[in-house]
Chains A and B, each alone.
Chain A
Amino acid sequence: MTLRDYIVKKKKRNRIWALGIILFWGLTAYGVNFDLFRIISGLPDMFNLVRRMLSPELSYIREAMPRLLETVEMALVSTTLGVLLGVLVALFTAKNTTFHPMIPKIIGPLLTFFRTIPNLIWAAILVTIFSVGKFPGMMALTITAVLITVKLLREYIETINKNLLYGVESVGGSKIQVLRFAVLPAVFEHSLSIYFIVLEINIRSATILGLVGAGGIGQILWRDLNHLRYDNLATLIILLFLTILIIDVISLSIRKNLKKFYIPRKSIDSFKIQQQKKWAGILLLLTLGLFWLFISLDITLDRLLVGLNSGKEIILRMVQIDLSYTPRLLEGLLESLYIALFATFAGGIGAVVLSYFTAYNTAPSPIVAMVLKGVVNLLRTFPPIIVAIIFFRGVGPGPLAGAMALGIYTLGVMTKLYSEVIESAGSQIQQGIMVTGSTKLNSYRYGILPQTFPNFISLILYRLESNIRTSTILGIIGAGGIGTLLSTNITWRNWERVGLLILGIALLMILIEKTSERIRKKLI
């Protein structure tokens, strides 16, 4: 191949790629009923809404506070319980630490299936079983906490070097001792940081659980929305923003300092005392935790038993899926998929541009970077399902509102993650290009961007997975996708149809996960 051929080929390839991307995006835009005119004509309404939100009703705080505390409590209790259980499950299902090689093979796919069901769907189903209140919400949050923990931790455990396990086996240690003295210390730090990751996820989920009646601040949020009390709504959103911010900051600082944490001892005696104190402390915490769990559960034993009984019936009905409903399922799935793809695409492309101004090493000035970092954090604070409600004002309910909300959230998350990648990609590549006399922008375009592009693709694939999961619940408030079908069928207790819908979502999710896993592996 001559140089000329190469140039021609490269140009051609670039054009095909660009055309393909534009066509694909156009298709998804069509799928979500994208309508620029509608958005523009809706702008004044949305602007009006935002302006009304700028004068929050501060006296409302007193009424909202108990609900807010309830939300935080739900997130804390369920995260603690879920992560503890999740660590245990992960230890027993990881390939290298399990007791029997068949266990991961049986439980693994089961957990994957359950993980595909969005948190809000769990909550909606549990609410019909255990009635409105905190209990179904906490149960839903615990279930997702367990599932996320298992996924994150099991992969980590499986990367533990075999020799580290041999280190305890070779002194004559039993299987339990291997877990306690080789695996547990190795995963302790990681488990704690998973705890905080899950907490960050759960505090966001807890705010929207109220939409289906599963307790927390979401319940009054939903009420105020229906009553058009935007001043109250603004108060709630400010409260939520502050709460999420505080929890994120605490969690981030703990995760950062975890690595260095170590208490040195001076003598064997003090070491022994420390050991006893440690276990006394753990025992105390456990008792207190159980006590707290007990008092925060607003459910009687009778109600629980009744619930479990009806739960059994519901599961038995769900298993007999109603196949005649398949056309509607496919229709819903396609719309959800369009919403997710449109949002991922729009948000992702926006993030490439925005990241350039947000990363410290590429931004025109540190002040710009700092301001944008604030904006980006604001964008990713709110669950998309809440932002969708704001878009209702402008473009009306439907897939477009959902897609726009999800797109904005994606823009926030992707910009945060990708600008961090750019920052860690380092100044060396940048300098390598700048010394040729090129501009900062060109050092980004020809140095950092190609260097970090595989990271970007990998991040956006993860985001796509998560966006599809979110797009399946947007319909619960009427923002398009399969969620609309799900929530109506749950309300009408058509469990055979719900079973089919959940199965459909699971299959789609697994398909997307496997495909993106394959692409990611190829990239590296």
Chain B
Amino acid sequence: MQFNLVKLDLVKFKRNAGEKMISVQDLYVTYDKRTPALQGVSLDFYEGEFVGIIGLSGSGKSTLLKTLNGLVSPTKGKVFVEGKDISRLSGKELRNLRRGIGFVFQEFNLVDRSSVLENVLIGRLGYQSSFKSFFGFFKDEDYQLAKEALKTVGLKEKTFERSDQLSGGQKQRVAIAKTLVQEPGVILADEPVASLDQKSGKVVMDTFQRIQQKYGISIIVNLHDVDLARKYCDRLVGLKGGRILFDQKTEEISDDDITGLYR
């Protein structure tokens, strides 16, 4: 499973916008055999899109996102990425798939004690043999990519700082840089601004937008802030109780749809 690699420092072309990339079919996820998180979700994601998934907490947003790269396995139903059923992939194939999909977490999940650079380099692990990476040796090309990625998110001057010295917004941008060096086709972001104040939240969302426009990388983002979602996303998916309530272009969404979601 290989995406068209976007060489951050070399190529700046638009990908084949509009082509179907991820397809979710009748997905069910139940935790601990009891708690249902998703109950029959079907939808498609296309190249170059900026999609927002909105809904209350507990509506299944996070679970949906985590099934897309196999962090959570579906109880029933299938996920296809570029035409391949991800539940049938071997361990190695799944890891190769994952390195083509960036994932940004709400709580940043950086290694606090390590430098910013080391955290960004973690994004290159999927391209490394276990043995070599164990000693922390990376290729020159990896360092170039990390440098370029940090420039893109505007944190070049923080490269050698210890990660726990950064502010929340900066940490999240380091996490985005980490996904960029994966040379991904799509970035999944699970509530990326929920732990941030308004101002740094806006900087993070702007960064996503810049990446989408500059490199044509699709962005799929979970948000609970509807205004933010309306401002940045091309398309909005409303989830409620593990089911899709609506799935439309942002401008077609009415206020009634939104109130229905939060009722």
Instruction: Judge whether B71 and A271 touch: CB under 8 Å.
Output: no
**Contacting chain A: which of B47-55, B121-129, B200-208?**
B121-129
Give the distance in Å from the alpha carbon of A268 to the alpha carbon of B111 in the complex.
Answer: 19
A188 CB–B CB distance under 8 Å: yes
Instruction: Judge whether A185 and B113 touch: CB under 8 Å.
Output: yes
**Contacting chain B: which of A74-82, A138-146, A175-183, A336-344?**
A175-183
Instruction: Judge whether A171 and B105 touch: CB under 8 Å.
Output: no
B78 CB–A CB distance under 8 Å: no
A205 → B minimal CB distance (Å): 31
Contact-residue size bin, chain B (C-beta under 8 Å from the other chain)? 35 or more
B138 → A minimal CB distance (Å): 8
Instruction: Judge whether B111 and A180 touch: CB under 8 Å.
Output: no
| Total of A-B residue pairs, C-beta within 8 Å | 103
**Contacting chain A: which of B91-99, B213-221, B226-234?**
B91-99
Chain B residues, CB < 8 A from A182: 111
Give the distance in Å from the alpha carbon of A180 to the alpha carbon of B109 in the complex.
Answer: 15
Instruction: Judge whether A171 and B98 touch: CB under 8 Å.
Output: yes
B13 CB–A CB distance under 8 Å: no
A262 CB–B CB distance under 8 Å: yes
Chain A residues, CB < 8 A from B101: 170
Instruction: Judge whether A177 and B135 touch: CB under 8 Å.
Output: no
Instruction: Judge whether A275 and B136 touch: CB under 8 Å.
Output: yes
Instruction: Judge whether B182 and A171 touch: CB under 8 Å.
Output: yes
Q: Which of B106-147 contact A (CB under 8 A)?
A: 107, 109-115, 117, 122-128, 130, 133-137, 143, 147
A161 → B minimal CB distance (Å): 7
Chain A residues, CB < 8 A from B162: 262, 264
Give the distance in Å from the alpha carbon of A412 to the alpha carbon of B99 in the complex.
Answer: 55
Give the distance in Å from the alpha carbon of A176 to the alpha carbon of B134 in the complex.
Answer: 8
Instruction: Judge whether A170 and B122 touch: CB under 8 Å.
Output: no
B69 CB–A CB distance under 8 Å: yes
B261 → A minimal CB distance (Å): 26
Given known contacts A168-B122, A172-B98, A268-B147, A185 and B69 CB-to-CB distance under 8 angstroms = no
Instruction: Judge whether A272 and B125 touch: CB under 8 Å.
Output: no
Q: List 17 A-B contacts (CB under 8 A).
A: A163-B109, A166-B105, A168-B122, A171-B102, A171-B124, A171-B126, A172-B96, A172-B126, A173-B95, A173-B122, A174-B91, A180-B133, A185-B112, A264-B115, A265-B117, A275-B136, A279-B136
Which 3 A-B pairs have CB atoms at the shortest separation, nearest pair first? Answer: A172-B126, A172-B99, A167-B109
**Which residues of B pack against A, CB within 8 Å?**
66, 69, 71, 91, 95-103, 105, 107, 109-115, 117, 122-128, 130, 133-137, 143, 147, 159-162, 178-179, 182
**Which residues of A pack against B, CB within 8 Å?**
161, 163-164, 166-174, 176-177, 180-182, 185-186, 188-189, 262, 264-266, 268, 271-272, 275-276, 278-279
